[in-house]
Amino acid sequence: GFIINGSESKSILVRALGPTLAQPPFNLSGVLTDPTLALFQGGAQLDANDNWADTHQSDINATGKAPPNAAESAILRTLVPDAYTAILSGKNATTGVGLVEVYDLTPDSNSSLANISTRGFVETGSSVMIGGFIVQNGIQKIIVRGLGPTLGQPPFNVPEALADPVLAIFDANGQQIASNDN
């Protein structure tokens, strides 16, 4: 999910990668071979995509952020300030490792991409849950939270919520720069 705050609409690109993750520099196994993407505002579906080049190919290419593989998905939209949910799925109910990214294409507007959140099954070792973010334009004060027990309670009621999350932040070089447990 993500939230847009402010007074102006914002142009965003949401993309879902799968096959690209099996290639360098990622070299992951068990990737989602044919990701599909749906975008929701509240309970209403705004858009969906399977195979990004099938729709808006020239506009998506113009962003410079087109998915590298034709089987991957992307949605290019201008959105009003509100809360949104992007759902990544495997075509025909397939499963695997995937990546959803949200790009702010109008960073100079009077609105901001104010919150990005991820929900997924947390495992150990090479299957840990990874949520990434990029800070641009100098130093920014941010909050990174790892919720577990809260998700098992109303209004979320998520089954099998993580009982004791541990959070670690790494820089672009893979060096741990912060961590927190409780």
pLDDT at 40: 98
pLDDT digits (tens, 9 = 90+) for 84-110: 999 999 999 999 999 999 999 999 899
Handedness of CA 116, 149, 17, 126 (dihedral sign): positive
For tokens 């609409």, name the residue.
9
pLDDT digits (tens, 9 = 90+) for 23-51: 999 999 999 999 999 999 999 999 999 99
Residues 18 and 34: beta-carbon distance below 8 Å: yes
Structure pTM?
Answer: 0.87
pLDDT digits (tens, 9 = 90+) for 68-88: 999 999 999 999 999 999 999
Question: Count of residues for the chain?
Answer: 182
Cα separation, 60 vs 105, in Å, equals: 11
Q: How far apart are the first and last CA of the chain?
A: 24
